[in-house]
Structure 1
Protein backbone atom coordinates (compact mmCIF):
# COMPACT_ATOMS: atom_id res chain seq x y z
CA UNK A 1 0.00 0.00 0.00
CA UNK A 2 1.40 3.38 -1.03
CA UNK A 3 2.04 5.83 1.81
CA UNK A 4 0.06 9.08 1.74
CA UNK A 5 2.13 12.22 1.36
CA UNK A 6 2.33 14.16 4.60
CA UNK A 7 2.54 17.93 4.81
CA UNK A 8 5.96 19.39 5.66
CA UNK A 9 4.55 20.83 8.89
CA UNK A 10 4.09 17.28 10.20
CA UNK A 11 7.78 16.52 9.81
CA UNK A 12 8.83 19.89 11.20
CA UNK A 13 6.75 19.38 14.34
CA UNK A 14 8.10 15.87 14.79
CA UNK A 15 11.70 16.99 14.30
CA UNK A 16 11.21 19.82 16.79
CA UNK A 17 9.86 17.38 19.38
CA UNK A 18 12.66 14.89 18.73
CA UNK A 19 15.33 17.57 19.06
CA UNK A 20 13.86 18.71 22.38
CA UNK A 21 14.00 15.13 23.61
CA UNK A 22 17.40 14.05 22.29
CA UNK A 23 19.61 17.15 22.07
CA UNK A 24 21.05 18.03 25.46
CA UNK A 25 22.94 21.35 25.38
CA UNK A 26 26.04 21.67 27.54
CA UNK A 27 25.62 24.06 30.47
CA UNK A 28 28.44 26.61 30.73
CA UNK A 29 29.06 29.87 32.57
CA UNK A 30 29.14 33.11 30.56
CA UNK A 31 32.97 33.26 30.54
CA UNK A 32 33.21 29.59 29.53
CA UNK A 33 30.76 30.08 26.66
CA UNK A 34 32.60 33.21 25.52
CA UNK A 35 35.95 31.40 25.64
CA UNK A 36 34.58 28.65 23.40
CA UNK A 37 33.07 31.27 21.09
CA UNK A 38 36.49 32.89 20.72
CA UNK A 39 38.10 29.53 20.01
CA UNK A 40 35.46 28.78 17.37
CA UNK A 41 36.14 32.12 15.68
CA UNK A 42 39.88 31.38 15.73
CA UNK A 43 39.32 27.87 14.38
CA UNK A 44 37.31 29.30 11.48
CA UNK A 45 40.07 31.83 10.66
CA UNK A 46 38.19 34.86 11.90
CA UNK A 47 40.85 36.41 14.08
CA UNK A 48 41.74 40.00 13.28
CA UNK A 49 44.67 40.78 15.52
CA UNK A 50 43.26 42.77 18.41
CA UNK A 51 40.45 44.24 16.31
CA UNK A 52 38.10 41.31 16.90
CA UNK A 53 35.54 41.83 19.66
CA UNK A 54 33.03 39.78 21.57
CA UNK A 55 30.63 40.91 24.27
CA UNK A 56 27.74 39.45 26.25
CA UNK A 57 25.15 41.55 28.06
CA UNK A 58 25.54 41.53 31.85
CA UNK A 59 22.74 41.26 34.38
CA UNK A 60 24.06 44.60 35.63
CA UNK A 61 22.26 47.40 33.73
CA UNK A 62 24.34 49.09 31.01
CA UNK A 63 27.20 46.63 31.47
CA UNK A 64 28.64 43.73 29.48
CA UNK A 65 31.28 41.00 29.54
CA UNK A 66 34.12 41.14 27.02
CA UNK A 67 37.59 39.75 26.37
CA UNK A 68 40.26 41.83 28.06
CA UNK A 69 42.21 43.92 25.59
CA UNK A 70 45.57 42.56 24.46
CA UNK A 71 44.50 38.95 23.79
CA UNK A 72 43.55 37.23 20.55
CA UNK A 73 40.59 34.89 20.09
CA UNK A 74 42.85 31.84 19.94
CA UNK A 75 44.29 32.33 23.46
CA UNK A 76 41.13 33.29 25.34
CA UNK A 77 40.34 31.38 28.54
CA UNK A 78 37.37 31.84 30.89
CA UNK A 79 39.59 33.84 33.25
CA UNK A 80 40.31 36.43 30.52
CA UNK A 81 36.83 37.97 30.44
CA UNK A 82 35.97 41.14 32.29
CA UNK A 83 32.72 42.88 33.12
CA UNK A 84 32.62 46.60 32.34
CA UNK A 85 30.10 49.42 32.67
CA UNK A 86 29.05 51.93 30.02
CA UNK A 87 32.18 54.01 30.64
CA UNK A 88 34.34 50.86 30.31
CA UNK A 89 35.19 50.85 34.02
CA UNK A 90 35.98 47.29 35.15
CA UNK A 91 33.36 45.79 37.46
CA UNK A 92 34.72 42.22 37.55
CA UNK A 93 38.06 40.75 36.52
CA UNK A 94 41.34 42.40 35.64
CA UNK A 95 42.52 44.32 32.60
CA UNK A 96 40.87 46.77 30.23
CA UNK A 97 38.21 46.51 27.56
CA UNK A 98 38.94 47.03 23.90
CA UNK A 99 38.00 50.74 23.47
CA UNK A 100 36.24 49.88 20.21
CA UNK A 101 33.62 47.82 22.08
CA UNK A 102 32.03 51.11 23.07
CA UNK A 103 29.68 50.95 20.09
CA UNK A 104 28.25 47.67 21.44
CA UNK A 105 26.52 49.74 24.12
CA UNK A 106 24.40 51.46 21.51
CA UNK A 107 23.27 48.15 20.04
CA UNK A 108 22.34 46.81 23.48
CA UNK A 109 20.51 50.04 24.29
CA UNK A 110 18.41 49.95 21.13
CA UNK A 111 17.88 46.17 21.06
CA UNK A 112 16.65 44.58 24.32
CA UNK A 113 16.49 41.23 22.50
CA UNK A 114 20.24 41.22 21.82
CA UNK A 115 22.38 39.53 24.46
CA UNK A 116 25.65 38.99 22.59
CA UNK A 117 27.65 40.79 19.90
CA UNK A 118 30.58 39.66 17.77
CA UNK A 119 32.53 42.02 15.54
CA UNK A 120 35.61 41.15 13.55
CA UNK A 121 37.36 41.67 10.22
CA UNK A 122 37.22 38.12 8.88
CA UNK A 123 38.80 37.53 5.43
CA UNK A 124 35.76 36.85 3.25
CA UNK A 125 33.24 39.15 4.92
CA UNK A 126 35.89 41.87 4.85
CA UNK A 127 36.35 41.26 1.13
CA UNK A 128 32.64 41.96 0.62
CA UNK A 129 33.02 45.02 2.84
CA UNK A 130 35.99 46.23 0.79
CA UNK A 131 33.97 45.78 -2.41
CA UNK A 132 30.96 47.48 -0.77
CA UNK A 133 28.74 44.52 -1.61
CA UNK A 134 25.75 43.46 0.48
CA UNK A 135 25.13 39.75 1.02
CA UNK A 136 23.07 37.90 -1.61
CA UNK A 137 21.23 34.85 -0.26
CA UNK A 138 21.82 32.43 -3.10
CA UNK A 139 22.27 29.07 -1.36
CA UNK A 140 20.63 27.19 1.51
CA UNK A 141 23.53 27.58 3.97
CA UNK A 142 23.22 31.34 3.57
CA UNK A 143 19.57 31.38 4.65
CA UNK A 144 20.16 31.99 8.39
CA UNK A 145 21.02 35.51 7.15
CA UNK A 146 17.94 35.86 4.90
CA UNK A 147 16.31 39.24 5.56
CA UNK A 148 18.58 39.37 8.60
CA UNK A 149 21.80 40.93 7.29
CA UNK A 150 21.89 44.70 6.97
CA UNK A 151 24.47 46.73 5.03
CA UNK A 152 26.19 49.97 6.03
CA UNK A 153 27.55 51.49 2.79
CA UNK A 154 29.89 54.07 4.34
CA UNK A 155 32.49 53.56 7.05
CA UNK A 156 32.01 55.93 10.03
CA UNK A 157 35.61 55.51 11.25
CA UNK A 158 37.18 53.64 14.16
CA UNK A 159 34.24 53.02 16.55
CA UNK A 160 35.73 54.33 19.80
CA UNK A 161 33.25 57.18 20.32
CA UNK A 162 29.48 57.46 20.65
CA UNK A 163 28.63 58.68 17.15
CA UNK A 164 29.87 55.49 15.52
CA UNK A 165 27.63 53.50 17.86
CA UNK A 166 24.62 55.59 16.86
CA UNK A 167 25.32 55.05 13.15
CA UNK A 168 25.97 51.31 13.39
CA UNK A 169 23.01 50.56 15.66
CA UNK A 170 20.64 52.48 13.38
CA UNK A 171 21.97 50.67 10.30
CA UNK A 172 21.58 47.29 12.02
CA UNK A 173 17.95 48.04 12.85
CA UNK A 174 16.11 44.88 13.90
CA UNK A 175 18.40 42.51 12.00
CA UNK A 176 20.87 40.07 13.53
CA UNK A 177 23.86 40.83 11.31
CA UNK A 178 25.38 43.65 9.31
CA UNK A 179 28.20 44.04 6.82
CA UNK A 180 30.08 47.27 7.44
CA UNK A 181 31.56 48.67 4.21
CA UNK A 182 35.32 49.28 4.28
CA UNK A 183 35.37 47.52 7.65
CA UNK A 184 34.04 44.05 8.58
CA UNK A 185 30.86 42.62 10.05
CA UNK A 186 28.81 42.41 13.23
CA UNK A 187 26.41 39.76 14.49
CA UNK A 188 23.90 40.39 17.27
CA UNK A 189 22.41 37.27 18.82
CA UNK A 190 19.82 36.37 21.39
CA UNK A 191 22.66 34.40 22.98
CA UNK A 192 26.42 34.08 22.67
CA UNK A 193 25.88 30.76 20.90
CA UNK A 194 23.59 32.40 18.33
CA UNK A 195 25.96 35.30 17.67
CA UNK A 196 28.77 32.79 17.09
CA UNK A 197 26.60 30.62 14.85
CA UNK A 198 25.66 33.63 12.74
CA UNK A 199 29.30 34.73 12.55
CA UNK A 200 30.46 31.39 11.19
CA UNK A 201 27.65 31.23 8.65
CA UNK A 202 28.12 34.85 7.59
CA UNK A 203 31.80 34.25 6.85
CA UNK A 204 30.93 31.08 4.92
CA UNK A 205 28.22 32.94 3.00
CA UNK A 206 30.63 35.72 2.05
CA UNK A 207 33.17 33.16 0.82
CA UNK A 208 30.50 31.36 -1.18
CA UNK A 209 29.24 34.59 -2.73
CA UNK A 210 32.70 35.70 -3.86
CA UNK A 211 33.51 32.29 -5.33
CA UNK A 212 30.14 31.90 -7.06
CA UNK A 213 30.40 35.33 -8.69
CA UNK A 214 33.21 33.94 -10.84
CA UNK A 215 30.49 32.05 -12.73
CA UNK A 216 28.22 35.04 -13.28
CA UNK A 217 25.45 36.98 -11.51
CA UNK A 218 23.90 35.28 -8.47
CA UNK A 219 20.28 34.19 -8.37
CA UNK A 220 18.73 34.75 -4.92
CA UNK A 221 16.83 31.90 -3.27
CA UNK A 222 13.04 32.21 -3.44
CA UNK A 223 11.93 34.47 -0.56
CA UNK A 224 9.33 32.09 0.86
CA UNK A 225 11.67 29.11 0.85
CA UNK A 226 14.56 31.16 2.22
CA UNK A 227 12.35 32.48 5.02
CA UNK A 228 11.32 28.95 5.91
CA UNK A 229 14.95 27.76 5.96
CA UNK A 230 15.98 30.82 8.00
CA UNK A 231 13.48 30.03 10.75
CA UNK A 232 14.32 26.32 10.75
CA UNK A 233 18.11 26.75 10.87
CA UNK A 234 17.86 29.33 13.65
CA UNK A 235 15.92 27.04 15.99
CA UNK A 236 17.65 27.39 19.38
CA UNK A 237 18.14 23.61 19.61
CA UNK A 238 20.00 23.54 16.27
CA UNK A 239 22.05 26.61 17.19
CA UNK A 240 23.08 25.16 20.57
CA UNK A 241 23.85 21.69 19.20
CA UNK A 242 25.98 23.21 16.43
CA UNK A 243 27.83 25.42 18.92
CA UNK A 244 28.52 22.39 21.13
CA UNK A 245 29.86 20.48 18.13
CA UNK A 246 32.18 23.33 17.18
CA UNK A 247 33.28 23.60 20.83
CA UNK A 248 34.29 19.92 20.75
CA UNK A 249 36.14 20.58 17.51
CA UNK A 250 38.21 23.30 19.13
CA UNK A 251 39.43 20.78 21.68
CA UNK A 252 40.92 18.72 18.85
CA UNK A 253 42.11 21.60 16.65
CA UNK A 254 45.91 21.84 16.27
CA UNK A 255 47.35 25.02 17.70
CA UNK A 256 44.45 25.68 20.08
CA UNK A 257 45.19 24.78 23.72
CA UNK A 258 42.40 22.87 25.42
CA UNK A 259 40.15 24.78 27.80
Structure 2
Protein backbone atom coordinates (compact mmCIF):
# COMPACT_ATOMS: atom_id res chain seq x y z
CA UNK A 1 0.00 0.00 0.00
CA UNK A 2 1.52 3.30 -1.09
CA UNK A 3 0.72 6.25 1.13
CA UNK A 4 1.22 9.83 0.05
CA UNK A 5 2.76 11.29 3.20
CA UNK A 6 1.83 14.78 2.07
CA UNK A 7 -1.85 13.85 2.22
CA UNK A 8 -1.67 12.83 5.88
CA UNK A 9 -3.25 15.39 8.18
CA UNK A 10 -1.41 16.50 11.31
CA UNK A 11 -2.39 15.08 14.67
CA UNK A 12 -3.38 18.58 15.77
CA UNK A 13 -6.25 18.46 13.28
CA UNK A 14 -7.71 15.34 14.86
CA UNK A 15 -7.04 16.60 18.38
CA UNK A 16 -8.87 19.86 17.67
CA UNK A 17 -11.79 18.06 16.05
CA UNK A 18 -12.13 15.53 18.88
CA UNK A 19 -11.93 18.28 21.50
CA UNK A 20 -14.77 20.22 19.85
CA UNK A 21 -16.93 17.09 19.49
CA UNK A 22 -16.34 16.02 23.09
CA UNK A 23 -17.41 19.47 24.28
CA UNK A 24 -20.62 19.07 22.27
CA UNK A 25 -21.51 15.45 23.02
CA UNK A 26 -20.00 14.60 26.41
CA UNK A 27 -22.41 16.46 28.63
CA UNK A 28 -21.85 15.60 32.29
CA UNK A 29 -24.60 14.81 34.76
CA UNK A 30 -25.64 17.58 37.13
CA UNK A 31 -24.71 16.76 40.73
CA UNK A 32 -24.27 18.79 43.88
CA UNK A 33 -20.76 18.93 45.40
CA UNK A 34 -21.74 16.53 48.19
CA UNK A 35 -23.28 14.12 45.68
CA UNK A 36 -20.00 14.17 43.75
CA UNK A 37 -18.07 13.48 46.95
CA UNK A 38 -20.35 10.54 47.76
CA UNK A 39 -19.96 9.11 44.27
CA UNK A 40 -16.19 9.56 44.46
CA UNK A 41 -16.19 7.51 47.66
CA UNK A 42 -18.25 4.77 46.00
CA UNK A 43 -15.82 4.73 43.06
CA UNK A 44 -12.89 4.32 45.43
CA UNK A 45 -14.71 1.44 47.12
CA UNK A 46 -15.59 -0.13 43.77
CA UNK A 47 -11.92 -0.02 42.74
CA UNK A 48 -10.96 -1.67 46.05
CA UNK A 49 -9.11 1.31 47.47
CA UNK A 50 -10.45 1.13 50.99
CA UNK A 51 -8.27 0.15 53.95
CA UNK A 52 -10.62 0.27 56.90
CA UNK A 53 -10.97 3.88 58.01
CA UNK A 54 -7.61 4.89 56.55
CA UNK A 55 -7.79 7.32 53.69
CA UNK A 56 -9.70 10.54 53.20
CA UNK A 57 -11.44 12.69 50.64
CA UNK A 58 -11.91 16.44 50.87
CA UNK A 59 -13.28 19.39 48.92
CA UNK A 60 -12.26 23.00 49.42
CA UNK A 61 -15.11 25.01 50.92
CA UNK A 62 -16.27 28.39 49.68
CA UNK A 63 -15.61 29.52 53.25
CA UNK A 64 -11.93 30.53 53.69
CA UNK A 65 -9.69 28.04 55.51
CA UNK A 66 -12.34 25.33 55.51
CA UNK A 67 -13.10 22.14 53.62
CA UNK A 68 -15.70 19.37 53.32
CA UNK A 69 -14.80 15.81 54.22
CA UNK A 70 -16.43 12.49 55.11
CA UNK A 71 -17.25 12.28 58.80
CA UNK A 72 -14.92 9.93 60.63
CA UNK A 73 -16.15 6.40 61.31
CA UNK A 74 -17.55 5.61 57.86
CA UNK A 75 -16.08 3.61 55.02
CA UNK A 76 -16.02 4.79 51.40
CA UNK A 77 -18.64 2.22 50.44
CA UNK A 78 -21.31 3.64 52.76
CA UNK A 79 -20.87 7.37 52.17
CA UNK A 80 -23.95 9.44 51.32
CA UNK A 81 -24.18 13.20 50.67
CA UNK A 82 -25.47 13.73 54.21
CA UNK A 83 -22.30 12.20 55.67
CA UNK A 84 -20.05 15.09 54.66
CA UNK A 85 -19.14 17.78 57.15
CA UNK A 86 -17.49 21.17 56.80
CA UNK A 87 -14.54 21.80 59.11
CA UNK A 88 -12.19 24.70 59.79
CA UNK A 89 -8.40 24.69 59.95
CA UNK A 90 -8.51 23.50 63.58
CA UNK A 91 -10.77 20.61 62.50
CA UNK A 92 -13.79 22.05 64.30
CA UNK A 93 -17.06 20.99 62.64
CA UNK A 94 -18.80 24.02 61.13
CA UNK A 95 -21.60 22.31 59.21
CA UNK A 96 -23.10 18.86 59.74
CA UNK A 97 -22.61 16.38 62.56
CA UNK A 98 -19.58 14.32 63.48
CA UNK A 99 -15.82 14.73 63.48
CA UNK A 100 -13.29 14.61 60.62
CA UNK A 101 -10.57 12.03 60.29
CA UNK A 102 -7.71 13.63 62.33
CA UNK A 103 -5.30 12.71 59.52
CA UNK A 104 -6.97 15.17 57.15
CA UNK A 105 -4.96 17.92 58.82
CA UNK A 106 -2.30 17.72 56.12
CA UNK A 107 -4.94 18.59 53.49
CA UNK A 108 -5.00 22.10 54.97
CA UNK A 109 -1.38 22.65 54.09
CA UNK A 110 -1.88 21.55 50.49
CA UNK A 111 -4.93 23.80 50.07
CA UNK A 112 -2.98 26.73 51.48
CA UNK A 113 0.00 26.13 49.17
CA UNK A 114 -2.05 25.32 46.06
CA UNK A 115 -4.93 27.70 45.22
CA UNK A 116 -5.57 25.60 42.09
CA UNK A 117 -6.41 22.49 44.12
CA UNK A 118 -10.12 22.07 44.87
CA UNK A 119 -10.27 18.43 45.96
CA UNK A 120 -7.94 15.78 47.38
CA UNK A 121 -8.01 12.02 47.84
CA UNK A 122 -5.66 10.01 50.00
CA UNK A 123 -5.85 6.23 50.30
CA UNK A 124 -3.78 3.23 51.32
CA UNK A 125 -4.80 1.32 48.20
CA UNK A 126 -3.19 -2.12 47.67
CA UNK A 127 -1.01 -1.53 44.62
CA UNK A 128 0.07 2.06 45.28
CA UNK A 129 0.80 1.05 48.86
CA UNK A 130 2.98 -1.78 47.56
CA UNK A 131 5.07 0.79 45.66
CA UNK A 132 5.12 2.93 48.80
CA UNK A 133 6.28 -0.04 50.89
CA UNK A 134 9.10 -0.68 48.44
CA UNK A 135 9.93 3.06 48.30
CA UNK A 136 9.53 3.02 44.52
CA UNK A 137 8.45 6.06 42.48
CA UNK A 138 6.12 5.62 39.53
CA UNK A 139 7.69 4.88 36.13
CA UNK A 140 5.51 6.10 33.24
CA UNK A 141 5.86 3.16 30.87
CA UNK A 142 2.41 2.74 29.31
CA UNK A 143 -0.24 5.05 27.83
CA UNK A 144 -2.74 4.69 30.68
CA UNK A 145 -0.06 5.95 33.05
CA UNK A 146 0.53 9.16 31.13
CA UNK A 147 -2.01 11.34 33.00
CA UNK A 148 0.62 11.12 35.74
CA UNK A 149 3.61 11.96 33.53
CA UNK A 150 5.68 14.65 35.26
CA UNK A 151 2.70 14.93 37.62
CA UNK A 152 3.43 12.31 40.29
CA UNK A 153 5.90 13.32 42.99
CA UNK A 154 7.59 11.00 45.47
CA UNK A 155 8.21 11.48 49.19
CA UNK A 156 10.86 8.98 50.24
CA UNK A 157 10.56 9.44 54.01
CA UNK A 158 7.56 8.67 56.18
CA UNK A 159 6.88 11.39 58.77
CA UNK A 160 4.49 9.20 60.76
CA UNK A 161 0.72 9.36 61.10
CA UNK A 162 -0.17 12.75 59.57
CA UNK A 163 -2.17 14.20 62.45
CA UNK A 164 0.14 17.17 63.19
CA UNK A 165 1.32 20.20 61.26
CA UNK A 166 4.83 19.04 60.38
CA UNK A 167 3.48 16.22 58.21
CA UNK A 168 1.43 18.76 56.25
CA UNK A 169 4.52 20.86 55.64
CA UNK A 170 6.52 17.88 54.36
CA UNK A 171 3.77 16.49 52.14
CA UNK A 172 2.78 19.84 50.62
CA UNK A 173 6.42 20.71 49.89
CA UNK A 174 7.09 17.30 48.31
CA UNK A 175 3.92 17.55 46.19
CA UNK A 176 4.99 20.93 44.83
CA UNK A 177 3.03 21.84 41.71
CA UNK A 178 2.12 18.26 40.81
CA UNK A 179 -1.27 16.58 40.95
CA UNK A 180 -0.23 13.36 42.69
CA UNK A 181 2.36 11.96 45.06
CA UNK A 182 3.40 8.54 46.29
CA UNK A 183 4.17 8.64 50.01
CA UNK A 184 6.82 6.06 50.97
CA UNK A 185 5.73 3.58 53.66
CA UNK A 186 2.27 5.13 53.48
CA UNK A 187 0.04 5.48 50.40
CA UNK A 188 -0.71 8.21 47.88
CA UNK A 189 -2.41 11.58 47.47
CA UNK A 190 -4.09 13.09 44.42
CA UNK A 191 -4.88 16.79 44.20
CA UNK A 192 -7.28 17.88 41.48
CA UNK A 193 -8.90 21.03 40.18
CA UNK A 194 -12.21 19.23 40.77
CA UNK A 195 -13.62 16.19 42.56
CA UNK A 196 -13.81 14.47 39.19
CA UNK A 197 -10.13 15.08 38.44
CA UNK A 198 -8.93 13.95 41.88
CA UNK A 199 -10.96 10.74 41.50
CA UNK A 200 -9.77 10.14 37.93
CA UNK A 201 -6.16 10.49 39.01
CA UNK A 202 -6.72 8.20 41.98
CA UNK A 203 -8.12 5.37 39.89
CA UNK A 204 -5.40 5.71 37.27
CA UNK A 205 -2.62 5.96 39.86
CA UNK A 206 -3.73 2.71 41.48
CA UNK A 207 -3.99 1.08 38.05
CA UNK A 208 -0.53 2.39 37.11
CA UNK A 209 0.99 1.00 40.30
CA UNK A 210 -0.55 -2.41 39.60
CA UNK A 211 0.73 -2.34 36.02
CA UNK A 212 4.24 -1.36 37.13
CA UNK A 213 4.49 -4.14 39.69
CA UNK A 214 3.23 -6.74 37.24
CA UNK A 215 5.44 -5.53 34.38
CA UNK A 216 8.61 -5.71 36.47
CA UNK A 217 8.38 -9.50 36.24
CA UNK A 218 9.62 -9.11 32.67
CA UNK A 219 12.57 -6.90 33.54
CA UNK A 220 13.34 -3.18 33.87
CA UNK A 221 10.64 -0.82 32.65
CA UNK A 222 11.16 1.43 29.64
CA UNK A 223 9.68 4.89 30.17
CA UNK A 224 7.47 6.33 27.45
CA UNK A 225 9.16 8.93 25.25
CA UNK A 226 8.75 12.17 27.25
CA UNK A 227 7.43 14.20 24.31
CA UNK A 228 4.74 11.63 23.54
CA UNK A 229 4.01 11.15 27.26
CA UNK A 230 3.46 14.89 27.69
CA UNK A 231 1.14 14.95 24.69
CA UNK A 232 -0.88 12.03 26.06
CA UNK A 233 -0.92 13.60 29.54
CA UNK A 234 -2.53 16.78 28.25
CA UNK A 235 -4.99 14.90 26.03
CA UNK A 236 -6.17 12.43 28.68
CA UNK A 237 -6.60 15.19 31.26
CA UNK A 238 -9.02 17.18 29.11
CA UNK A 239 -11.97 18.05 31.39
CA UNK A 240 -14.44 16.47 28.95
CA UNK A 241 -12.61 13.13 29.16
CA UNK A 242 -12.15 13.35 32.93
CA UNK A 243 -15.79 14.23 33.57
CA UNK A 244 -17.20 11.64 31.15
CA UNK A 245 -15.05 8.96 32.78
CA UNK A 246 -16.27 10.02 36.21
CA UNK A 247 -19.87 9.78 34.96
CA UNK A 248 -19.19 6.28 33.63
CA UNK A 249 -17.76 5.16 36.96
CA UNK A 250 -20.78 6.66 38.75
CA UNK A 251 -23.02 4.49 36.57
CA UNK A 252 -20.83 1.49 37.31
CA UNK A 253 -21.35 1.88 41.05
CA UNK A 254 -25.05 1.17 40.48
CA UNK A 255 -24.12 -2.35 39.33
CA UNK A 256 -21.36 -3.04 41.86
CA UNK A 257 -23.51 -4.16 44.78
CA UNK A 258 -23.14 -0.73 46.37
CA UNK A 259 -26.17 1.06 47.78
CA UNK A 260 -27.26 3.98 45.59
CA UNK A 261 -26.10 7.48 46.48
CA UNK A 262 -29.19 9.04 48.06
For normalisation by structure 1, the TM-score amounts to 0.98
Of residues 69, 72, 77, the one that matches 1:69 is: 72
In 2, Cα distance between equivalents of 1:103 and 1:258: 30
SS in structure 2 opposite 1:252?
coil
Pair 1:204-2:203 in alignment: no
The DSSP-based 3-state class of the residue aligned with 2:188 is strand
Q: CA deviation at 1:29?
A: 0.8
Cα distance in structure 2, aligned partners of 1:51 and 1:117:
14
Q: Tell me which residue corresponds to 2:259.
A: 257
Q: 1:252 Cα deviation (Å)?
A: 1.0
Question: CA shift at 1:27, angstroms?
Answer: 1.3
Task: Specify the SS of the correspondent of 2:215.
Answer: helix
> Is structure 2 residue 81 aligned with structure 1 residue 78?
yes
Divergent runs of 4+, >2 A: none
Alignment map for 1:55-66 (pairs within 5 Å)? 55-66=58-69
Report the Cα distance in structure 1 between the residues aligned to 2:31 and 2:53, rounded to whole angstroms: 25
Q: What residue in structure 2 maps to residue 130 of structure 1?
A: 133
Report the CA distance between 1:48 and its aligned residue.
1.3
Partner of 1:121: 124
SS at match of 2:29: coil
> RMSD between aligned alpha carbons?
0.8
Total equivalences in the alignment: 257
Deviation at 1:253, TM superposition (A): 0.7
Q: 2:143 aligns with which of 140, 144, 148?
A: 140
Question: What are the residue-to-residue correspondences of 1:218-233 with 2, within 5 Å?
Answer: 218-233=221-236
SS in 1 for 2:127: helix
- For structure 2, the 5+ residue unaligned runs are none
Distance 2:104 2:116 in 1: 18
Give distance in 2, aligned partners of 1:52 and 1:168: 15
